[in-house]
Amino acid sequence: MAKLYYSAASSSAERLGAEITELCSYIYAAEHRLLTLVREFDEQKGWECLGFHTCAHWLNFKCGIDMNTARERVRVANALGKLPKIDARFATGALSYSKVRAMTRIADESNEDYLLMIAKHGTAYHVEKLVSKYRRVERLRDAEAACTVYDNRQLDYHYDCDGCLVIKGRFPAEQGALIVKALEMAMEKDFGTSRASRGAPTNQSRLERRSNKTAFSNMAPTFPRKRPGESRVIAPCWA
- DSSP string over the chain: -HHHHHHHHHHHHHHHHHHHHHHHHHHHHHHHHHHHHHHHHHHTTHHHHTT-SSHHHHHHHHS---HHHHHHHHHHHHHHTT-HHHHHHHHTT-S-HHHHHHHTTT--TTTHHHHHHHHHHS-HHHHHHHHHHHHHHHHHH-HHHHHHHHHT-EEEEEE-TTS-EEEEEE--HHHHHHHHHHHHHHHHHHT---GGG--S--HHHHHHHHHHHHHHHHTGGGS----TT--EEE-----
- The pLDDT averaged over each successive group of 10 residues in the chain (239 residues) is 64 91 95 97 94 95 95 96 96 95 94 94 94 87 76 87 87 87 83 54 50 48 50 48
The whole-number pLDDT of residue 113 equals: 95
The whole-number pLDDT of residue 195 equals: 52
Could you tell me the pTM of the whole model? Answer: 0.58
